[in-house]
Chain A
């Protein structure tokens, strides 16, 4: 038994090219050369995280430095037992699920258009991508004006809606307005990612399905979509994580009023507006952890091997 298991290992080792002293020295030199960059990156990324972790253990307001007090994990206890955190998490998940669902459908339609379009290809592709080129804050302002009952066009476009309907006066319409701006802004990104996936689906397979008599729907559901699973997962993962961090549109359109506040906005307010460094840091740590959880869940749900998605296997 032992011999049997040992043999392949020996074989593999033997198969490796023998490194010369020179190539080993070059590798060591390479490591030394990149070491400062790696150290710098670690400092840049790890320092703020560790600092946030440290600060989250204090009850600390920037404007009352003398009252700073070490309270262990008290801030986490306060945050996790506070209904406000769960309410903002709920609304954030709602933003994420609804916007990503709409973007997936509309984005896929756009991707199909971009993929199949024969004439004016450049113009059509560019015009679909334009919203993504606009800064989120600017698109937030644009949509805020669009939904304004004073100078916006939305009220006059929706039949049966009062001309002075105030979109930002109640939670539901305000959330809808924010979602519309988010979907408008980021659908092109989704379609771009899906277009890449679409381009990877072999035309031969589609042709073969056609020859076999498959209808358009059958070709879509049995050939195209299954072959795009990895691309769809990457698109959903990217957009879901992005949507979970939604901030700019809310900042511009409602400033968090009418219960439209997301978890990032809550963290921003604690830290930057209220100078509550301790609880703000605790919230950012929790936000970081929840992003990890979401990423993990999406990868699990789609059951896709990332290495497979990158075609490394």
Chain B
């Protein structure tokens, strides 16, 4: 029994095996890179995490809280990095390793791997949201999409022309992504001074918070709201772009939407003409004239603090986040590079329209992260609790109520 355990831990060749916990996006490419980044000294083996961000976080946290030595590498949603780093669950990328993984990284993703001025993860791929839309719908509404558009304009354009606006407004993390992006886009913050933990400054009750709430209220009251608004997610609005009847939609969604729709041509679900009608533009402005702050997501590679092979794991993390891996993930799985230079690679220029690549890159460079805090889960769920359901959001009361509640939650004076 003991021998069997030892053997499986070391792999059949007697080399140590590094476990890499990955989220189920682009697993084929990740598995290939696990093999390519394996060396004579160690093997990397891919272990699959659940698909939901909350479940991924829970599973990793459970292992790390128990000081699991077999959690060597992990794919982390950017919002987990500060939490995990503060808990002492991540190894720091010191010196050269830190420089190597942060060099040339776009500002949005770079910000996600830093905690208290130290590097705690290697940005592997970066995700951002753009406004996907039907060109014919925008045209019918007389909306000039070459110029920045506001949420108000988009909602009106859809409502006046029988279209809809697809968002993520279920009670889950992606709803906070939307709220946060709108608040940042209006020049505000949900919280600031987050490195002071529970003593962070709660800012959500501001003009920016009210502007964000006004957009949600407007959409919820509009005929452009999709019937499942209160439980909508990234998947529900995908099918509304090319409906059997109606002019389609404007949709906030991540980079994967492009490859998703392109794939539908092959399966015969949409025609090439319909696909050509798919447009993309920068994330809408919350306040006219104020640049929007597109959400930043993606995956950072962290190294478990309790790994038996810290040096190997740090080396492996750099390898799986290398330029080659980033380009392969973007080309084959639609997961965009975190390093700016990779957008210029010939393979990506061929796989995507150059203007889309440029849009993504700009969005990531000028995008805004969610609050970086060891208490992020509390902050996010406190916001969800007061802002859901979107049909009940009111700019006059929701930001103020949520600010008070968030403060109470951080002070340990309220249940969440």
A-side residues, CB < 8 A to B, are 59, 61-65, 67, 71, 74-75, 78-79, 82, 84-85, 149-150, 164, 166, 168-169, 255-258, 266, 269-270, 272-276, 278-279, 283
Judged by a CB distance under 8 angstroms, whether B265 is at the interface is no
Q: Please determine whether A276 and B378 come into contact, CB atoms closer than 8 angstroms.
A: yes
Min CB gap A68→B, angstroms: 12
Q: Please determine whether A64 and B415 come into contact, CB atoms closer than 8 angstroms.
A: no
Point out which of A64, A71, A85 has the most chain B C-beta atoms below 10 A from its C-beta.
Answer: A64
Q: Please determine whether B61 and A275 come into contact, CB atoms closer than 8 angstroms.
A: yes
Closest 3 CB pairs between A and B?
A257-B171, A63-B87, A82-B415
Could you say which residues of chain B place their CB within 8 Å of the CB of A85?
415
Among residues of B, the one whose C-beta sits closest to the C-beta of A82 is B415
Among residues of B, the one whose C-beta sits closest to the C-beta of A62 is B65
Judged by a CB distance under 8 angstroms, whether B104 is at the interface is no
A63 touching B83 in the complex, CB below 8 Å, given contacts A166-B227, A169-B231, A255-B171: yes
B-side residues, CB < 8 A to A, are 54, 58, 61, 65, 83-84, 86-88, 170-172, 197-198, 227-228, 230-231, 374-375, 377-378, 381, 388-389, 412-416
How far is B382's CA from A269's CA once the two chains are assembled, in angstroms? 12
* 17 residue pairs A–B, Cβ–Cβ below 8 Å: A63-B374, A64-B197, A65-B88, A67-B198, A71-B412, A75-B412, A166-B230, A257-B231, A257-B388, A258-B171, A269-B381, A270-B415, A273-B54, A274-B377, A275-B83, A275-B377, A278-B412
Could you say which residues of chain B place their CB within 8 Å of the CB of A272?
58
Among residues of B, the one whose C-beta sits closest to the C-beta of A266 is B415
How far is B65's CA from A275's CA once the two chains are assembled, in angstroms? 10
Residue in contact with B414 in the complex, picked from A82, A149, A169, A274, CB distance below 8 Å: A82
- Total cross-chain contacts (CB, 8 A): 88
Among residues of A, the one whose C-beta sits closest to the C-beta of B382 is A274
Could you say which residues of chain B place their CB within 8 Å of the CB of A273?
54, 58, 377, 381
Could you say which residues of chain A place their CB within 8 Å of the CB of B61?
62-63, 275
Residue in contact with B228 in the complex, picked from A82, A166, A257, A283, CB distance below 8 Å: A166
Residue in contact with B412 in the complex, picked from A63, A78, A149, A255, CB distance below 8 Å: A78
How far is B347's CA from A126's CA once the two chains are assembled, in angstroms? 60
Q: Please determine whether B414 and A64 come into contact, CB atoms closer than 8 angstroms.
A: no
Could you say which residues of chain B place their CB within 8 Å of the CB of A270?
415-416
Could you say which residues of chain B place their CB within 8 Å of the CB of A266?
415
Residue in contact with A59 in the complex, picked from B228, B230, B378, B412, CB distance below 8 Å: B412
Could you say which residues of chain A place their CB within 8 Å of the CB of B197?
64, 67
How far is B61's CA from A195's CA once the two chains are assembled, in angstroms? 46
Among residues of A, the one whose C-beta sits closest to the C-beta of B58 is A272
Could you say which residues of chain A place their CB within 8 Å of the CB of B378?
61, 274, 276
Q: Please determine whether A78 and B413 come into contact, CB atoms closer than 8 angstroms.
A: yes
Q: Please determine whether B171 and A256 come into contact, CB atoms closer than 8 angstroms.
A: yes
Min CB gap B365→A, angstroms: 29
Min CB gap A178→B, angstroms: 14
Interface contacts beyond A164-B227, A169-B389, A258-B389: sample of 20 additional A-B pairs, CB < 8 Å, sorted by A: A61-B374, A63-B87, A64-B87, A64-B374, A67-B197, A74-B412, A78-B413, A78-B414, A82-B414, A84-B414, A149-B227, A166-B227, A166-B228, A255-B171, A258-B171, A269-B416, A273-B54, A273-B58, A278-B412, A279-B415
